[in-house]
Amino acid sequence: MDRRAAIATAVTIALLGLGIVAFGRSPLAGAITALPLIAAVWLWAIWGGLSPYARRRATNVVVLTLSFGATGLGVLVLALILGDLIWNGLSALNLDFFAQSTPASGSVGGGMLNAIYGSAVMTGVATLVGSPVGILAGTFLAEYGRGNPIAPVIRFINDILLSAPSIIVGLFIYQVMVLRMGHFSAWAGSAALAILVVPVVVRTTEDMLNLVPNSLREAAVALGTPKWKVIVSVTYRAAMQGMLTGVMLAVARIAGETAPLLFTAVNNQFWSTDMNSWMANLPVVIFQFALSPDANWQRLAWGGALLVTVTILALNIAARLLASWRSFSR
């Protein structure tokens, strides 16, 4: 212990001296920079002096404290983000916010009605198009996939699409729809979002169908029910809540997506219900307003951000509650 302490003291003095000399322009900074190294040396000195048992216990306590701290940090960040959103966004959420369209730059007041409408419509269309595709594809994987060599490939590709960058989907839809139609449109925006819905729904549908006990299917088959009818009236019914959860999670996923809309639906300052033309939507409006120097626009951006976040988190929580409703789904 004494020898270690002596070495540590010597190293401390040497490092401090080196730090102060080497950092000519700010000696204090040099000293501060040397601190981590000095701390490490002292840690070594104290650590080495402990008995093996004490050292193991100490390691355990240190690591578990760090683990506790990491969890606290995660929860703290969530609380900070939500707190800042409420702090900055709540004041923007007045009646005008829901009743008026986006204002011109430099004007006062205004709201997000056109953007809220656009987001709702495009999310709705994307969900209506994407969910059936996802449910049927998921049905194939769960009910017909066994022994089919293509099923693992589809599962693999689907999982990759699930995490693939959404801006790539925007590029793709730009190429196949916007260029072909000659203009940006809400249809293109909906199509981009629909592509993002599919993998989420496929994944949850397959998982949920796999949770349905086989004895249910067997009982139906034993009665002479055709397979399609077994799936539609027995399996789907048993897995209904889980599948609905998947659709809700998909809605939550696309409701805040910005990147795929940037060059498909773009934005529209005015009220528009024409699906064949540019359409305002909350994420892109938030993006443009937040990055502008206009204080009124920034205020609206915070309000929009709060609205989007609250909606999505509520959907997430509702989906979770729904999923844990029945015992077999978890």
Partner 1 sequence: MAEIALNRSAEAPRSSGFDKVFQATTWFFAILILVILAAIIVSLVLSAIPAIRRFGPGFLTSAAWNPVKADFGALPAIYGTLITSFIAMLVGVPVAFGIALFITELCPRWLRRPIGTLIELLAGIPSIIYGIWGLFVFAPFFQSTVEPWMIDTLGNVPLVGVLFEGPPLGIGAFTAGLILAIMVLPFIASVMRDVFETVPAVLKESAYGIGATTWEVMWNIVLPTTRVGVIGGIMLGLGRALGETMAVTFVIGNAHQIHASVLQPGTTISATLANEFAEAVDGTYRSSLFLLGLILFVITFIVLAIAKTLLFRMQQRAGT
230 belongs to the binding site for partner 1 (CB under 8 A): yes
Q: Which amino acid is at 66?
A: L
For residue 266, state whether it binds partner 1 (rule: CB under 8 A).
yes
Instruction: State the binding string over 107-146 for partner 1 (x if CB under 8 A, else -).
Output: -------------------------xxx-xx-xxx-xxxx
Residue 305 binds partner 1, judged by CB under 8 A: yes
Q: Closest CB to partner 1 among 8 and 195?
A: 195
What is the smallest separation between the CB atom of 154 and partner 1, expressed in angstroms?
A: 5
The CA–CA distances, whole Å, from 119 to 64, 229, 273, 282, 308 equal: 44, 36, 11, 6, 10
Among 114, 243, 245, 257, binds partner 1 (CB under 8 A): 257
CA distance 67 to 316: 26
Q: How many residues bind partner 1 (CB under 8 A)?
A: 108
- Residue 299, CB-side half-sphere exposure with 13 Å CA sphere: 19
Q: Interface with partner 1 includes 51 (CB under 8 A)?
A: no
Query: In whole angstroms, what is the distance from residue 267 CA to residue 14 CA?
Result: 62
- Using CB under 8 A, pick the residue from 1, 10, 13, 32 that binds partner 1: 32
Least distance to partner 1, CB of residue 123, Å: 12
Total H helices, total E strands in the chain: 14, 0
Pick the closer one to partner 1 by CB: 10 or 157.
Answer: 157
Rounded CA-CA distance 93/112 in Å is: 10
Is the CB of 147 or the CB of 182 nearer to partner 1? 147
Q: Does 150 bind partner 1 (CB under 8 A)?
A: yes
Could you give the 3-state DSSP secondary structure of residue 147?
A: coil
Min separation Cβ 5 and partner 1, Å: 26
- How far apart, in whole angstroms, are the C-alpha atoms of residue 311 and residue 200? 18
